[in-house]
Chain A
Amino acid sequence: MTNSIKEIAGADFILAIGTNTTESHPIISLQVKKAKRNGATLVVADPRRTEIAELSDIHMQLKSGSDIALLNAMANVIIAEEIWNKEFVSTRTEDFEALKATVAKYTPEYAEGLTGIPADVIREVARGYAKANNATILYTMGITQHICGTHNVFAVANLAMLCGQIGKPSSGVNPLRGQNNVQGACDMGALPNVYTGYQAVTVEDNRGKFAKAWNVGELPAKPGLTVGEMMEAAAEGKVKGMYIMGENPVLSDPDAHHVVHSLEKLDFLVVQDIFLTETAALADVVLPAASFAEKDGTFSNTERRVQRVRKAIDPVGNARADWQIICDVATAMGYTMSYASASEIFDEIASLTPSYAGISYERLEQGGIQWPCPNSGHAGTMYLHKDKFVRGLGKFNPVEYIPPAEQPDNEFPFVLSTGRRHFHYHTGTMTQRTGTLEVHYGTEFLEINPADAAAINVTEGEMIKVKSRRGEVAVQARLTDIVPQGMVFTSFHFPEVAINKLTNSARDPVAKIPELKVCAVKIEKAS
């Protein structure tokens, strides 16, 4: 997020696009509700009529995957009506002309055809966004899990820069991150192309610095494989050994059959987890890890706030903290890795990572700190891009609409979209074993519009088969107008409804993110 969570309450215009905030980020949605109580305008763009859509002033029920058409059309209106922030654009950005040229053809009427949103509504929302004192854009995987995910984000950023709605309090571009420490995992360099703090592995100075700190001769210069590429390479026999810590790609990744096939082809798979997950079941060795309650550490949340995780109990059984296991494996491979505490590891991180340099466990006792925090006297950073962007001037990256990789057709007439439920989390490894959540919400269902259900003679609660070109699952039908006609929706929380057997692994070429939000399916009665 460019801003802090609490700043959302201070916005007077909120565009929530591709985020089911009330279900997936309930506590962040409280800030949205607070803003609304303070008089803010809330606009929600989502194919489904979610709870937050119900709360909105305007719900733009766009067609799945048509976000760029909508965002470009908004830019078109803002430029045509001369309500863009000329001062911001001239002093803080570059390549405005390129944007102007690209969005010229995206008139609201043209976009109406692609998105299904009336042209006048697009105009109204565009004006509201441009003219707001503090407008903030919230988004999640509804923007990113498309083959054009990166372009979707560019389109969002273009709009924010065009209106100068970034680099000030309560105004910005705010992706709400889905996992407790997905921000931290990225910050820490658990990515194929960067070390901590996004220091590229391709830069020789960076390699030198880390090689020296880690006491090794040299470090690999070539960026590694992303998770999707790893699975491909494993299937092809190029990757022979994998070490998976705390992830369950068999359920979370698209095209589950392919993932299983890839992992089975490995010569050696070691999985480190707190449960015997669907992925761990395929492993040669499973290492029992400690849960968050059993270890010390830090998580970095979606607003870049580094916060303490504190050990409350001893690890269950003979489980060990993940960091201790990694040290043990490294040491057994001849590289002595030994730390007395998590705090000591953090100090090493701070010494190698400029954005974390000023953070220490001692300071975190007083509360979380938002990076960048370059030195121990720095209070942390509430919102980014205040006086300049990281690269200097903000660059407009004009993008064109492209349709999703797989479109409904006669054989597979429905669009399947996937997401989360309020009572569960990710692959359900934890939330299916709480004694509470799974008792309250124990079975998954497929949302289908009553009109569609009537057309294929499906009734409420009936078991149906959902099929795509890649697989099928059986699931109960729930008739609801939360989904529009032609669309069905379910979550990926339940192993018995392993919906990722169906989803499309077509990926965004830049970020390599799979298009989990759109694939074509057909519905059949189970019997």
Chain B
Amino acid sequence: MAEVTLTIDGLQVTVAKGTTVLEAARQAGVFIPTFCHDPELTRFGACRMCIVEIPGMRNLPASCVTEAAEGMVVYTESEAVIEARKTILELMLANHPMDCLTCGKNGECSLQDYAYLYGVKTESFGGEKHAYPLENDNPFIVRDMNKCILCGKCVRACAEIQGKNIVDFAYRGFDAKITPAMDVPLSASECVFCGNCVAVCPVGALQEKGLRSAARTWEVKKVKTTCPYCGTGCSFELNVKDNKVVGVTSCDGDVNGRALCVKGRFGYGFIHHPDRLTNPLIKKNGKFVESSWEEAIGLVAAKLSAIKANYGPDSLAVLSSARCTNEENYLMQKFTRAVLGTNSIDHCARL
């Protein structure tokens, strides 16, 4: 493969031809801020936050769409670059609600990160602000288009990851907005609420309804695990606060990358549902009565032992579970064969 060597902030970097300046910088461990860039999505070059200075080029080019060339010299934090980034942030903040106080994305917001990094404290450009109503009519996703910075990641994620093309840019200029066809709410569109747009949104425009109202981003512990629904085996992170699962977020799964479906991302509520069984139950006179573990286990052991003794091992049968872990299925068949003494174990693989 052909390679090119360039200098980024004084560091010599050799990369494959065709690599963007942004990717080259990241390979060299040099930080460049981005809003609209995503390694899994097509190059877009919309937000201009990733501009760099390259002597000889007419303007400050966006590093995410500029390919590295042999002998290129790049400055990622020159005075001109910093001034331009500050102006971009000021322009964005001129039309962004200042409500980090209660915003669910506070702490996981690129706009906030960069405003802090570049010390852009207040809006310098007064003027008209959007006043779109909050779209809050479905149980999964809250859309606040006042917070949208029009980076277009959601549009590309919907088209390129999910293949649904539900949302796109609509209107022009100040009125430009991300909308489903005919500017209806998501609930009235063909959206299947996979939430993959939410996973890529760099600001608070798209938020998981449950998670972002239950916890601040810095309060949650994230535990990577495997989805309990279908057989695809998607990985995700359970977000835990005060020993409660408050939400699910994407991580980089072997099978799914960051993509999840509506069940994986939003179907965790059963874990703390009031219907969960919390104590053993024993049926007495046709009614369930809560019992201790000792009593319940003792009764099960006694009954199974008695049936085995009276009618033989094959009078017992066990249904194991395609929902439980390998370890549990293994122990269940070990129990069935070694303790009960029968091979009558099955599960609902056929359903």
**A→B interface (CB under 8 Å):** 5-6, 24-30, 33-34, 36-37, 141, 144-145, 176-193, 195-196, 201, 210-211, 214, 216, 219-220, 222-227, 230, 233-234, 238-247, 249, 252-253, 267-268, 270, 273-276, 280, 283-289, 291-295, 297-303, 305-314, 316-323, 325-330, 332-335, 337, 342, 345-346, 348-349, 367-368, 422-425, 429-431, 433-437, 439-440, 511-514, 516
Contact = CB atoms under 8 A, between A and B. Distances in A.
Contacts of A219: 337-338, 341
B304 A293 contact: no
B interface: dominant SS: mixed
6 contacts: A192-B344, A288-B277, A292-B226, A308-B225, A318-B280, A335-B339
B21 interface: no
B335 interface: yes
Which of the listed residues B245, B304, B342, B351 has the most CB atoms from chain A within 10 Å of its own CB?
B351
Contacts of A440: 138-140, 193
Given A287-B300, A345-B327, A316 B254 contact: no
B317 A230 contact: yes
A329 B335 contact: yes
Given A292-B225, A346-B327, A25 B298 contact: no
B30 interface: no
B61 interface: no
A491 to B, nearest CB: 13
Contacts of B12: none
A276 to B, nearest CB: 6
Nearest to B238: A312
Contacts of B288: 276, 286
B325 A302 contact: no
A342 to B, nearest CB: 5
Contact of B328 (A223, A280, A297, A433): A297
Interface in B313-351: 313-339, 341-351
Contacts of B297: 287, 325, 328-329, 332
Contacts of A431: 263, 267, 270
A188 B326 contact: yes
A190 B243 contact: no
A309 B342 CA distance: 29
A509 to B, nearest CB: 13
Contact of B232 (A25, A201, A230, A326): A25
**How large, as a class, is the contact surface on chain B?**
35 or more
For B256, B281, B341, B343, the residue with the greatest tally of chain A CB atoms inside 10 Å of its CB is B343
B298 A332 contact: yes
Contacts of B172: none
B238 A283 contact: no
A179 B162 CA distance: 22
Interface string B226-248: 11111111110010100111000
A317 B278 contact: yes
Contacts of A287: 280, 296-297, 300
Nearest to B227: A180
B137 to A, nearest CB: 10
Q: Which 3 A-B pairs have the closest CB atoms?
A: A317-B278, A301-B233, A297-B325
B350 A181 contact: no
Contact of A288 (B279, B307, B344): B279
B322 A185 contact: yes
B349 A182 contact: yes
Given A317-B279, A425-B267, A293 B245 contact: yes
A181 B348 contact: no
B330 to A, nearest CB: 4
Nearest to A244: B319
Contacts of B51: none
A302 B231 contact: yes
